[in-house]
Amino acid sequence: MAVVSPVPAIAQRADSLRVHDIAVAGTMTSRQEIAEESVARIIEDKIYVAVAKDVKESKSTVIWTVQHSGGKKVCIIHVHQPAQMIPLMGTKFPASSLKEQEVWAYRKLERQNMQKILDEYLLICGRMGVRAEKLCIEMDSIEKGIVELIFQHGIKKLVMGAAADKHFSRKMVELKSKKAIYVRQQAPAYCHIQFVCKGNLIHIREGSLHGADVEIATSPVQANQHIETGSLNNLPLQSVTMRHNTRVELTNPAQDLLRRVRSANLEKHVKNRTDVSPSVNNGGLSSPNSRSDGEGNSYGWDGSSRGSPQSPGNLVSSFSDLALAPCLGTETSENGLDSKEDLHHSSPPSVLEGNMDDTLYDQLERAMAEARIARQEAFQEIVKRGKAEKNAIDSIRRAKASESLYVEVSKQRKEVEELLAKEQENLRKMKNQHDEVMEELRIALDQKSSLESQIAASEHMVEELEQKIISAVELLKTYRKERDELQTERDNALKEAEELKKKQGEASSTHVPEFFSEFSFSELEEATRNFDPSLQIGEGGYGSIHKGVLRYTQVAIKMLHSHSMQGPTEFQQEVDVLSKLRHPNLVTLIGACPEAWALIYEYLPNGSLEDRLSCKDNSPPLSWQIRIRVAAELCSALIFLHSCKPNSIIHGDLKPANILLDANFVSKLSDFGICRLLSQDRSLSNSTQFCRTDPKGTFLYMDPEFLSTGELTVMSDVYSFGVILLRLLTGRPALGIIKEVQYALDVGKLNNLLDPLAGDWPFVQAEQLASLALRCCEMNRRSRPELQSDVCRVLEPMRASCGGSSSFRLGSEAHFQPPPYFICPILHEVMQDPHVAADGFTYEAEALRGWLDSGRDTSPMTNLKLEHCNLVPNHALRSAIQEWLQQH
């Protein structure tokens, strides 16, 4: 039996321990290098994000990139597309048509704006705690510029928009942007691209490392696991290949050890073929307690011999496997050692039987224990390094956040400094302004003192003027007293003149006096409180109408406007007509103001018939009795006008707006501005007398024959009177009213057209009025009825049946009832000498003086205290009463 010397075995085991130490050291060095390289890669690796020139459009893409960056640096890339059309002087010109200097200036402005936009993106990253860079390029095509940047800078990770945010939907899975589709197709294969839209990941194009620089993509732990899972006998001696083309080089001692292990295994295999006894179990080590009785039996560690001694190659193989196990990070089981514990408790090889030094064996055991301790310390060191890597990454992230915060704070500090400088400049300006204001104040104080002296002088002058005013007032009172005396003398003279006229028989109608007074414009201003808009009661084609108190009498003042359609001719005509006419149903003209082209009428409180028919200002509607009385009174006034001598008067503008109502709803015809005078010819009837004139008036009430021929006759007033009758019956507008009433009469439905606001019309009278009105509205003037012979005979019985007194009678022997305003409220008789009291009412002078002389100081009508006891003669009313007495 061959005896193996223990020295080579011990040397081999020592070599194995050295190889183990070298492998552990190599593993630690390799892991340290990989960890440092990993930290450097995390620090230097960048994520590129493509942005547009509109910050709102790409803001969500940048925010998504920063949130998913994992602490890596972010680089903003932008492709600037120079404008082809350059704005200049309010329009745009092609760049090729402008001067090079102008194009260069505009390009410079574009680049400055582009840098401002990129700074806004950097500010967004800084606020989120990530340090960012910017990278830009100028190209005519944005998508080609992005691909060019990828090639130039070797970009491996890119984020860009999949489409505009407005195109985003939850079902969106494909790219909708032509630029994104182009970049996905044309970008190099090693570039990993993520496409997002409105903060949502839409598509990913995976990148491949083929064709690019090789990167270490696995951690040291993954590399060890890869080595552990493989068989060392099947690996090449030069290197161990890992995934992602990662190569971990083994140290030279490890290569030598592996080579020696393979040689020893080969020798052991050959020797087992020739020398090993059948009792050897698979070429492995015998159990330490096994024994054999025969010659070929093996013995244990008690000093007996083995049947088949361990070969040196087998021993080297065992120690080699033990040495490689710590290097590769796992236990070996190829040569009979199942675990670390098997090696520790296994018996020494048979070649050392009885000859191996115990001291040397103990040293070997201690060396193995120290190797195990070193391996554990190396593992703990790797764990510590991993924690250090994580802490380094956190520190880098915090450093980036601090750097961004520092930039923000620096920017804010700069802004505050600029603001402070502006405030200081403003303060300096305010100080200068304060000095100027103080100077102006001093000047103002000087002026104040001078003005105070002027005021003192003015006050003295005022006192003198007040004395003069008092003297002037006294003088004015004297003049007024003299004026009243002269007025009284004038009245007495008029009385005497009238008595002389009566005695001399000069009562002819051709010499009717003009009952007319003239007023000054200042009196009109005083009466209307300077034409206060609140006193305006009407507006017409002539002008505005104001309510006022003139010489203690309520009047209506009609002012001619500068833009009025009527002029001085119409003004003078109305003065000439109304100043000579008096009738209970004609408005009374009190006077005029030629200076302002103004007419002064008696005040009629119930407004116009038009206002009452439309119930203006929520006024109560007119009853059918009042409407019949108004129609009869209007007929009376027209008969009076048409029968005037020597000239018949045609009103020419009959309409409800020109018919006024007094306090007792007595109608009075007004507005004679466009009336016409006809010379009477006994050989011609009233229906054939006419005058040619231009059509004037209100279209809906105008005679159709007058419109077609221009011939104005008394029958033109009859046509207008017929339309007014229809309006009194129905309360409807004048447009189309003739056809409506005619149709209602034909079908027997007149009741449907009668105004319900007037009450229950007597159907027989209503039907008579409708028929009479339609006859007045005949197109042929010769078919219209005569007012005096036909119309009056229908209206007068109706008025009598309504309880109204007749204001006119046919025949020369009839007696007329005086108008109610001719009656004295105290005596209830027609007044001879009417005077106006302080309450605004007119009384007989003797009756009112007796009332006041009895000790009363109140009004006979209102029972309120009178402001004064002065009486003012009402000359206009006195003249009207005298004219009425002469006629009737």
**Global confidence as pTM:** 0.39
Q: Look up the CATH number of the domain holding residue 580.
A: 3.30.200.20
- Residue range(s) defining the domain that contains residue 20: 6-37+216-281+305-356
Q: Which residue has the higher pLDDT, 308 or 19?
A: 19
Give CA–CA dist 257/325, Å, rounded. 12
* Residues 6 or more apart in contact with residue 184 via CB below 8 angstroms: 175, 193, 195, 203, 205
Q: Look up the CATH number of the domain holding residue 53.
A: 3.40.50.620
Extract the tokens encoding 627. 């409407």
Question: Is the pLDDT confidence value at 724 over 90?
Answer: yes
Question: Is the pLDDT confidence value at 267 over 70?
Answer: no
Give CA–CA dist 430/440, Å, rounded. 15
Last residue of a domain, one of 816, 844, 868: 816
Q: What is the pLDDT of residues 545-580, one digit of tens each?
A: 889 998 888 899 988 776 555 666 777 777 878 877
Bridge partners, residue 557, by sequence: 546, 600
* Residues 6 or more apart in contact with residue 865 via CB below 8 angstroms: 857, 858, 859
Per-residue H/E/C for 788-849: HHHHHHHHHHHHHHCCCCCCCCCCCCCCCCCCHHHECCCCCCECCCEEECCCCCEEEHHHHH
Bridge partners, residue 428, by sequence: none
Give CA–CA dist 682/809, Å, rounded. 23
Give CA–CA dist 873/39, Å, rounded. 121
Establish if 748 belongs to a structural domain.
yes
Question: Is the pLDDT confidence value at 690 over 90?
Answer: no
58 and 196 both lie in a single domain = yes
Please tell me which of 93-97, 459-463, 498-502 the model is most confident about, judged by mean pLDDT: 459-463
> From the centroid of its chain, how far is CA 376?
74
Could you give the 3-state DSSP secondary structure of residue 765? helix
What is the torsional sign of CA 699, 703, 705, 706? negative
Establish if 154 belongs to a structural domain.
yes
807 and 827 both lie in a single domain = no
Going by their DSSP bridges, the two strands 85-88 and 91-94 should be labelled as antiparallel
Question: Is the pLDDT confidence value at 860 over 70?
Answer: yes
159 and 232 both lie in a single domain = no
The closest alpha carbon to 778, from 738, 749, 744, belongs to 738
What is the torsional sign of CA 700, 706, 710, 713? negative
pLDDT for 655: 93
301 pLDDT band (50/70/90 cuts)?
very low
DSSP one-letter string for 23-48: HHHHHHHHHHHHHHHHHHHHHH-EEE
563 and 622 both lie in a single domain = no
Q: Of the given ranges (65-69, 144-148, 234-238), which has the lowest mean pLDDT? A: 234-238
68 and 193 both lie in a single domain = yes
Q: What is the pLDDT of residues 528-541, one digit of tens each?
A: 888 888 888 888 76
Give CA–CA dist 662/669, Å, rounded. 11
pLDDT for 171: 81
Question: Is the pLDDT confidence value at 848 over 50?
Answer: yes
Q: What is the pLDDT of residues 802-822, one digit of tens each?
A: 654 433 333 333 345 788 788
109 and 67 both lie in a single domain = yes
18 and 86 both lie in a single domain = no
Could you give the 3-state DSSP secondary structure of residue 732? coil
Last residue of a domain, one of 816, 843, 859: 816
Last residue of a domain, one of 816, 843, 876: 816
Establish if 191 belongs to a structural domain.
yes
176 and 225 both lie in a single domain = no
pLDDT for 338: 39
Question: Is the pLDDT confidence value at 45 over 90?
Answer: no
793 and 651 both lie in a single domain = yes
Establish if 387 belongs to a structural domain.
no
Establish if 850 belongs to a structural domain.
yes
Give CA–CA dist 247/216, Å, rounded. 9
Q: What is the pLDDT of residues 336-359, one digit of tens each?
A: 333 333 433 344 443 334 444 678
The total number of structural domains that make up the chain: 5
Average pLDDT over residues 433-446: 92
Active site amino acids: 653
* Residues 6 or more apart in contact with residue 886 via CB below 8 angstroms: 507
pLDDT for 609: 93
Question: Is the pLDDT confidence value at 435 over 70?
Answer: yes
Q: Look up the CATH number of the domain holding residue 745.
A: 1.10.510.10
Question: Is the pLDDT confidence value at 380 over 50?
Answer: yes
Tell me, what DSSP letter sits at residue 600? E
pLDDT for 503: 67
CA distances from 543 to 524, 549, 566, 577, 599 (A): 15, 19, 9, 19, 11
Query: Which residue's structure tokens are 């339309």?
Result: 723
702 and 777 both lie in a single domain = yes
Establish if 59 belongs to a structural domain.
yes
Establish if 438 belongs to a structural domain.
no
Query: Which residue's structure tokens are 């800084």?
Result: 126
Average pLDDT over residues 369-377: 91
Per-residue H/E/C for 265-318: HHHHHHHHHHCCCCCCCCCCCCCCCCCCCCCCCCCCCCCCCCCCCCCHHHHHHH
Q: Look up the CATH number of the domain holding residue 883.
A: 3.30.40.10
616 marked ligand binding residue: no
Tell me, what DSSP letter sits at residue 80? E
610 and 740 both lie in a single domain = yes
750 and 619 both lie in a single domain = yes
Extract the tokens encoding 651. 């009103």
DSSP one-letter string for 662-722: -TT--EEE---TT-EEEE--TTS-TTT--EE----S-GGGS-HHHHHH-EE-HHHHHHHHH
Q: What is the pLDDT of residues 653-673, one digit of tens each?
A: 899 999 999 988 899 998 887
Establish if 625 belongs to a structural domain.
yes
Cis peptide before 646 (omega within 30 of 0): yes
Could you give the 3-state DSSP secondary structure of residue 57? helix
